[in-house]
Chain A
């Protein structure tokens, strides 16, 4: 991900579903955490699967350290009610993970609120 030079601003990366589509779970998590650890806000057009979310929490925990990284804040819109979440549906590859997701460094996101149609983030500079 190209790094934009900034001294006291906040970089926001809007990552398309297409850019994430060919990546493995760990590649996606690495891309997210690399961005967040640089102080960026990462917005995913299509979010992560539940399994990827589980691994994101696990990897985030292993990277927290008292000097420079206290973890992440994350919010996403609910999954569609109409998705096919049955076992057969998932076996047939119809598991839907499409949900806009906002992820940022916990120590910079002052507040992150959402309702069904709006995610609102208050972000401080580093």
Chain B
């Protein structure tokens, strides 16, 4: 980005922040690799504060193939109310092979359709990240290796846009969970452990959402 384009973008961000209406919700994107538990977390937050879910959860990768937004989620912390729009995004990857879906008992036609939708979803997620979110909740499966190029690139992209980012080490209910591994991978950011599935440590997650995105 050129000097003037970046200057214009920074001024635009600063002025929109200064003159935003009180209570106007920030759009918070839930990002991360496939199968990190993003939709489980989005549903947990939405159910806790609105009573509704956002989308279906599945162990099959790329179950979420469209960004889904839940508007005006009001989170109450310490006497204050934080209003956010939650954007649940498809898991980001650099490759999609329809043959992987065949392992989940799908016919070829269904697998090809699903892979095509998955690629469109990832492209959409990247576009949201560049244009349409005010902050990011980055979700990682704490039982898997976080030192992947996709994670490194995405955190780099988020940092380059000066977006506030909260890193969540999800799936602490699993036997192989290692939260330290996540915090070591991204020492420049705070890491919050949780199990979105079991609802463990959600109080701290909500405290941090209020702190980072209010």
Q: List chain A positions with a Cβ less than 8 A from chain B.
A: 49-51, 53-55, 57-58, 60-62, 64, 66, 70-76, 78-79, 85, 87, 90-93, 95, 106-107, 114
Taking a contact as CB atoms closer than 8 A, the residue among A55, A74, A79, A114 that contacts B156 in the complex is A79
Given contacts A50-B159, A51-B130, contact A66 B115 (CB under 8 A): yes
Identify whether the interface residues of B are mostly helix, strand, loop, or mixed: helix
Contact B119 A62, beta carbon cutoff 8 Å: yes
Taking a contact as CB atoms closer than 8 A, the residue among A60, A75, A95 that contacts B149 in the complex is A75
Complex Cα–Cα for A57 and B124 (A): 11
Q: List chain B positions with a Cβ less than 8 A from chain A.
A: 1, 3, 6-7, 10, 92-98, 112, 115-116, 119-120, 122-123, 126-127, 129-130, 149, 152-153, 156-157, 159-162
Number of A-B residue pairs having CB atoms within 8 Å of each other in the complex: 85
6 pairs from A and B in contact (CB 8 Å cutoff): A50-B153, A50-B159, A66-B98, A71-B94, A73-B95, A74-B149
Besides A50-B159, A61-B120, A74-B153, 6 more A-B contacts (Cβ < 8 Å) are A57-B122, A64-B96, A71-B94, A90-B160, A106-B97, A107-B97
Contact A61 B123, beta carbon cutoff 8 Å: yes
Question: Which among A49, A61, A76, A95 has the highest number of chain B CB atoms within 10 Å?
Answer: A61
Complex Cα–Cα for A64 and B130 (A): 21
Contact B94 A60, beta carbon cutoff 8 Å: yes
Q: Kindly list chain A residues whose C-beta atoms are within 8 Å of the C-beta of B127.
A: 58
Taking a contact as CB atoms closer than 8 A, the residue among B119, B130, B157, B161 that contacts A61 in the complex is B119
